[in-house]
Structure 1
Amino acid sequence: MSSTDGEISLGGYSGYSGYDRSAIDRSGQAEAFDLIGDHYDDAFPHKEGQLAAGEWLARELPAGSRVLDLGCGTGLPTARQLADAGHQVTGVDLSEGMLKLARDHVPGADFRRIDIADLERHDLGPFDGIAAFFSLLMLPRAEIPVALRMLHGQLRPGGLLAIAMVEADVNDHSIPFLGNMIRVSGYLRDDLRRVVRDARFEITGEESFAFAPASTDVPPEIQLFIHCRRIP
């Protein structure tokens, strides 16, 4: 493990070192999810794709693995799923309101308020596995490859990464979401595969699901779930 200019690099492969932090703008994102709170789980009651991807991660990891739930939200279903499988779970999120719910839902996990761009600074890794379910889509496209390289550095060699994104050709696009406005980005699936591979991950599996939220202000979507393994 080494550190340069305050950035922690695991395996010599830092993500945010040298990234223009003045370009980072999270304004309104955490506040929106603070207001959404447990209405999020009410609006998304059926999460078959996320449950399946979480089951893959929980099953493929060695017993008692250290797992990061990036953008953990309320802790449901992923942090609870991984903790119930006997793994050591660390969840991070920008929304303190979501984290409060997560601590109630999964008391055995460790939850912290950390921005993805600051994750390296906190020296929490290395992890055996990472779940990034619908957290990368909260970033502008220019930042997503940087975040993926950072996650590569937070994993042990051969570690597993499970990603979920919504298939959409959008960049930092504002949308109404459960009575609030958030900004999201997405890729078409071939472009998403390329970005993941460019960050030195092997894609070992992929699933897609047509998803219709219970809320009328959130349109139906295609959710992409990608199973990855860290290439040294």
Structure 2
Amino acid sequence: MNSPTGEHGYGNLQVDRTGQAEAFDAIGDRYDEVFPHKDGQIAATEWLIESLPAGSRALDLGCGTGLPTARQLADSGLQVVGVDLSGGMLDLARRNVPEARFHQLDLADLRPGGPRDLGRFEAVAAFFSLLMLPRAEIPLALRTIHHLLTPGGLFALSMVEADVDDFTIPFIGSTIRVSGYLREDLREVVTTAGFEIIEETSYSYAPASVDVQPEEQIFLRCKRMQHT
């Protein structure tokens, strides 16, 4: 699945999502079975909720089934928008969080000047969604998130610590391509994109499936800074 690139730094970068959404369509609700314990994700979302004024707009990027993040945000009374490439995942999300609004979009569609404008948000959550991008695109995605946030807006990010770029792995009966950083490199790419890192936590995680390897998960709680 190819998406348009257009302006704002994408230039001639070829955005290739071939097979990524289809893999998650096939996985469906088995994702929540394989990753049943999401302590870091729940805690980072709780930080967003506690830090935001009532009724704030929050964007869940790569929302998957809507559990737990979109559900958690909606339960707190926030205005929730979810975005995912997988139509199958979005069908589940709409059932799990009917009061939220969900869109089948690529993050690249939301860049400044891109084909879709969902408005601005006081908070963005991107839990394990940016790792689906090649490294060359991750700084551009972070700049898009910066654009989507209001000044001083909050950003909760999680990645798997790994020194890989667009690397194919088996994943719950399918294959996906993933990228990662060592934590020092992740900090650098996030701060360069215009974010202040307020807090960093990490979790050693063993998924409930022999098809998914144990991993070190990094969670960053960030604030949007003005570009200098």
The question of 1:133 aligning with 2:101 is answered no
User: Mapping of 1:60-139 within 5 angstroms?
Assistant: 60-120=51-111, 121-139=115-133
Indicate whether 1:59 and 2:50 are aligned. yes
Provide the residue aligned with 2:39 in structure 1.
Answer: 48
Could you say what secondary structure the match of 2:26 adopts?
helix
Letter of the 2:53 counterpart: P
Confirm whether residue 180 of structure 1 aligns to residue 171 of structure 2: no
- The percentage of counterpart residues that share the same residue type is 65
C-alpha distance in 2 between matches for 1:205 and 1:56 = 10
TM-score calculated relative to the size of structure 2: 0.94
Match of 1:3 in 2: none
* SS, match of residue 210 in structure 1: strand
Q: CA deviation at 1:21?
A: 5.3
TM-superposed CA distance for 1:22, in Å, is: 4.9
Corresponding residue number in structure 2 for 1:189: 183
Aligned length: 219
8 Å contact kept, 2:20–2:176: yes
Equivalent position SS for 1:56: helix
Give the gaps of 5 or more residues in structure 1: 1-5, 8-15
4+ aligned runs moved over 4 Å, structure 1: none
Q: How well do the aligned residues superpose, as a CA RMSD in angstroms?
A: 1.2
1:229 matches 2:220: no
The 2-side partners of 1:73 and 1:205 are apart by 25
Deviations 1:104-161 (A, max 9, x none): 0000100010001002331112100000000000000000000001110110000000
Q: Provide the C-alpha distance between the structure 2 equivalents of 1:76 and 1:49, rounded to a whole number of angstroms.
A: 13
Shift of the alpha carbon at 1:58?
1.2
What is the CA–CA distance in structure 2 between the aligned matches of 1:196 and 1:43, rounded to whole Å?
28
Which residue pairs with 1:11 in the alignment?
none
The answer (yes or no) to whether the contact 2:9–2:140 under 8 Å persists in 1 is no
Secondary structure of 1:31's counterpart equals: helix
Q: How does 1:140-155 map to 2 (within 5 A)?
A: 140-155=134-149
